[in-house]
Amino acid sequence: MSGRFLRLACTAAVTVCATLTPGPAATAVPEPGPPRDRTLSQLLTDLQRLYREAERATETYNATAEELKERRAEVARLDRALARARLSLHDSRGAAGRLARQQYQSTSTALSPYVRLLLARDPQRALDQGHVIGQVARERAETVGRLTGTERKADGLARRARTALDAQLAVAERQREERDDVRERLGAIEELLASLTAEQLTALAEFEDKGIEKAQRDLVASGALAAEDPEPSDEGGRALGYAMRQLGKPYEWGAEGPETYDCSGLTSEAWGHAGTPIPRTSQEQWAELPRIPLRDLRPGDLVIYFPEATHVAMYAGDGKVVHAPRTGEEIEISPLANNPVLGAVRPDARPDGAREDYAPAAPETSIR
């Protein structure tokens, strides 16, 4: 999420002019009229709740999309293994057929090889023949064993492939349901925005900006942030550089670039390009990456927001973050306190506490 409604105000104002007629019905101001700040506060609370629900649904969708990728990879792996097993089974059955023909030809002669062995006049030749016969018997047993084992392996792989495919289809269906949930929640946001006048949207943007400014002042005054930022690590500098190059690109839920991103799509892609792959969703990033105090933040670290860890941004230094805010907005630089902070994580933290090599900090960028 972001703390700005300016672009949304312009978009919604056009929608209002095109779809609504002027008058009381085009507003969402509660009746009777409470004080102005109370009205804006309620509107902002409603919008933030809707955006938060949409972002939570988006991160759930993203997690399911990642699971679906894994399921598809598993199905593909099992299909390849099953194809190899079936080819091996075909070869084994061919060998078994040849064995059966040889056995039939041997039993069709008047004397079996074993009888001929007993009647042989040359003892050494008899011993040589015995060795050959034993070898043939062992080869026959091995052929039968390979055939039996390959059949069991092919049957097992076929069952696992069917199970994996059923699981993939179930995850795909769940993803479709979650996609519809996101769209429904975004529709509720659009409906609320369309019910407001351009004047209300402008006032709402100003009201939200003031709230963020106050939250940022309180955060700085609390001493939660260090007076000076350390330089980023090598990986952190590359990740931040990637994120900075995406400034101005639109937010799109479920997107991982290169033209559009959602919040965790931006951070996961940035760190992936830096050579340190991290989990796809903000909840997984919070759950799996090493946590650090806000006071230890350095550029490239990730800041997680809301108790459910439904939004993530990248620390850019000087108390600011770069992030993909929400539908209708673009990747931007914002105050760190643009939303309620849950905590921070460091993707390239060393488990033994060793220090990383440092690179120059990314260039300064003003708040958009």
- Give backbone dihedrals phi and psi of 275, rounded to 5 degrees, phi first: 95, 10
Q: Which of 90, 131, 263, 273 is catalytic?
A: 263
Tell me, yes or no, if 311 is annotated catalytic.
yes
- Is residue 258 reached through a cis peptide bond, with omega within 30 degrees of 0 on the bond before it? yes
Q: Could you give the CA distance from residue 209 to residue 189 in angstroms, rounded to a whole number?
A: 19
Read off the tokens for 61: 């969708």
* 3-state SS string for the chain: CCCCCHHHHHHHHHHHHHHCCCCHHHCCCCCCCCCHHHHHHHHHHHHHHHHHHHHHHHHHHHHHHHHHHHHHHHHHHHHHHHHHHHHHHHHHHHHHHHHHHHHHHHHHCCCCHHHHHHHCCCHHHHHHHHHHHHHHHHHHHHHHHHHHHHHHHHHHHHHHHHHHHHHHHHHHHHHHHHHHHHHHHHHHHHHHHHCCCHHHHHHHHHHHHHHHHHHHHHHHHCCCCCCCCCCCEHHHHHHHHHHHHCCCCEECCCCECCCCECHHHHHHHHHHHCCCCCCCCHHHHHHHCCEECHHHCCCCCEEEECCCCCEEEEEEECCEEEECCCCCCECEEEEHHHCCEEEEECCCCCCCCCCCCECCCCCCCCCC
Read off the tokens for 248: 């101005």
Q: Which of 10, 17, 273, 323 is catalytic?
A: 323
Tell me, yes or no, if 131 is annotated catalytic.
no
Tell me, yes or no, if 17 is annotated catalytic.
no
Q: Could you give the CA distance from residue 364 to residue 207 in angstroms, rounded to a whole number?
A: 27
**Could you give the residue numbers annotated as active site?**
263, 311, 323
